[in-house]
Structure 1
């Protein structure tokens, strides 16, 4: 499976209700999208203690056909029209562990780790296990940037210094 994400940084004084309203009105349009495992409509808000305001959709695709269709058949044009040209990060998933209550997740944390140069990647730890307080775990490896990004999902906002997003909507394919 593959994952993609774009992280749109918004001004500090941006009214985040604009994003909430946008997702409320259009988030369901991704429900049932071809080859989509799930899409998370994520935001972070400076006024709620995060570093900055952002809109950061995160997708996990069963295969690249649906992802290509989304990007190149006009669906991504809505993002371009609203927010301008965006860099899409694409990576390979190594862990997708979804608990029984994953669908009720309301928050997700992100941890990025550089994959340092080495003589072999054979024993590189690419998978992670779900812990007791998590509703899901997603690990994405990006060999283009040599980075491993781990996402942990929760029902309530965790007390953490990690980058944390609120999940506004979860679409399933």
Structure 2
């Protein structure tokens, strides 16, 4: 599993209805993309849910790295580049994934929290301790999906959770989910991934 996110911060006076319309008309295009576990079409609105900015910020869990590469070099991402410029794309190696009790419902929000791994921390011990928190989270009634991944380039750990309702204030940066494409969600490995 590979996790990926790009964020396009938009002007404070940007009409966010443009993003909503974009997702309404184009979101379904990835609903059957082989190799994509899920894509949460995320958006932040300045002054809502603690967000200081307007932003378009989709989050992905990929089953197949080749599918991720085809997406980034293909027509779908060319549309993002054409409309917003080429954003830096953050990506992480998968460590954990589990569906929650709300997996059968349409998620309304997602959270992302990134944490640097301290220089003196043992990765296996740190990942194992964090995994226990995700196992508990995966049993929370409002959780659709939870995942954890890391970047060995920056030793940053990403904690991602899809929520059936509004995300808790303390769960990380909060995003409204406008659409969920999940063509290969059932092919995402579950549990510990190392």
With normalisation by structure 2, the TM-score equals 0.83
Equivalent residue, structure 2, for 1:135: 144
What 5-or-longer segments of structure 2 have no aligned partner?
Answer: 184-194
1:171 to 165, 169, 181: 181
TM-superposed deviation, 1:20: 0.2
Equivalent residue, structure 1, for 2:126: 124
2:166 to 157, 160, 164: 157
Q: 1:46 to 1:119 in 2, by over 3 A?
A: closer
Q: Distance in 1 between matches of 2:117 and 2:5?
A: 19
Q: 1:4 to 1:159 in 2, by over 3 A?
A: closer
Q: Distance in 2 between matches of 1:57 and 1:8?
A: 9
Equivalent residue, structure 2, for 1:8: 8
Q: Which shifted more, 32-41 or 97-106?
A: 97-106
TM-superposed deviation, 1:119: 6.7
Contact 2:101 2:139 (8 Å CA) reproduced: no
Q: Which shifted more, 67-76 or 31-40?
A: 67-76
With normalisation by structure 1, the TM-score equals 0.92
Q: Distance in 2 between matches of 1:94 and 1:30?
A: 24
Asked if residue 39 in structure 1 is aligned to residue 14 in structure 2, the reply is no
TM-superposed deviation, 1:37: 0.7
What 5-or-longer segments of structure 1 have no aligned partner?
Answer: none
Q: 1:119 to 1:47 in 2, by over 3 A?
A: closer
Q: 1:101 to 1:77 in 2, by over 3 A?
A: same
Equivalent residue, structure 1, for 2:90: 89
The aligned length equals 173
Find the residue that maps to 2:169 and give its secondary structure: coil
Structure that is richer in helix per residue: 2
The 4+ residue runs of structure 1 with deviation greater than 6 A are: none
